[in-house]
Structure 1
Amino acid sequence: MKPVSHCHLQPLETIPTGRLVLNLMRAFEKHLIRQLERMGVDNLTFSDINLLRQIPSSGIRISQLAQEAMISKQAVAKNITSLQERGYLQVSEDPKDARARIVTFSAHGRKLLKQAVTVISSIDESYSACLGADRYRALRADLDVLVKFLQSQGEGESHEQQ
């Protein structure tokens, strides 16, 4: 009997690898949001997660954030406003260019990051337990090889790991 994807009820080998990775990412984000909700964070969306993971601790220009998140500057501005109103982000003038704005985490946002790191660590541990430590390490190594391969082909973006 051939392996069947639980998500699509179709033979696993017929599902493109990119789709499997996307399904994993979506399941990961759902789990992350659910766990954060259990910790008292009840107002995050998938769009918020997509944006927040692109912001380095040193901050980022709004235009660069739009590039990293692969969404329009208008969508980024709307999300930033929402996250700012909820206390996660702050926006300030770029000291190098008064026309540009820098997005950074507020104290509340840094607390959220610490909570997220704890949850992500727990998720990673559960993946390792599910697959076994050796298979999990191999999976991570193989995914890294594929990302580097795509980047070398000009197909992948070189984003800083969050």
Structure 2
Amino acid sequence: MHEDARTNTGLLLYYPYRDMEIRVVEALHAAGFADLSYAQARIFQRIGPGGTRTVQLAEQARVTKQTASLLVQALEEEGYVERRPDPADARARLVSVAERGRAAQAVAAGVVAEVEEQWRRRLGARRYAALRRALAELHEEPGDVRSPPADHGAPG
């Protein structure tokens, strides 16, 4: 079954996000972070300010724990993140952003702000604010975010 992209709301949501993601990664590469892959960026952007466990990163990125672990390992080897013991559970480790990662975050934040400003100008302030409210409401709906089966990675 093929749905026209004009009527498939999921694709209409995905295309602007994907455009932003491409612009962010291109800017990161141009700024000297050429070793950062799209898959790594998808994990990296989900690290919270106090650090995040790998299993939580996997759930948020909708990938398997094994995939997230491999991506975190590569990010650590490239100097973007560091792992440290979780103060709440000595058996667990938190992934936190390292100095190089903070520099990459600054570049990414600038691009995100630029893209969001372009969207705001295109839609107008009122429509842009309504869009953000609607998307936030959809995001907050309990049970809407499902994890992929353990033997399948996330699409894209």
TM-score when scaled to structure 2? 0.81
Q: What is the alpha-carbon root mean square deviation over aligned residues?
A: 2.0
1:112 aligns with 2:104: yes
User: How far does the alpha carbon of each residue in 1:6-27 deviate from its partner, in whole angstroms, 9 at most, with x for none?
Assistant: xxxx5623xx111211222211
Change (3 A) 1:50 1:128: same
SS at match of 2:92: strand
1:77 aligns with 2:66: no
Q: Is the 8 A contact 1:66 1:73 kept in 2?
A: yes
Structure 2 residue aligned with 1:24: 16
SS at match of 1:20: helix
Structure 1 CA distance for aligned equivalents of residues 109 and 55 of structure 2: 26
User: How far does the alpha carbon of each residue in 1:105-132 deviate from its partner, in whole angstroms, 9 at most, with x for none?
Assistant: 1111111112211111111111112222
Structure 2 residue aligned with 1:45: 37
Structure 2 residue aligned with 1:63: 55
Q: Looking at both structures, which has the greater relative contact order when contacts are Cα pairs under 8 Å and sequence separation is at least 6?
A: 2
Runs of 4+ in structure 1 displaced over 6 angstroms?
Answer: none
Identity over aligned pairs, percent: 31
Q: Gaps spanning 5+ residues in structure 1: where?
A: 1-9, 158-162
Change (3 A) 1:62 1:11: closer
Structure 2 CA distance for aligned equivalents of residues 11 and 114 of structure 1: 33
Q: Gaps spanning 5+ residues in structure 2: where?
A: 147-156
SS at match of 1:12: coil
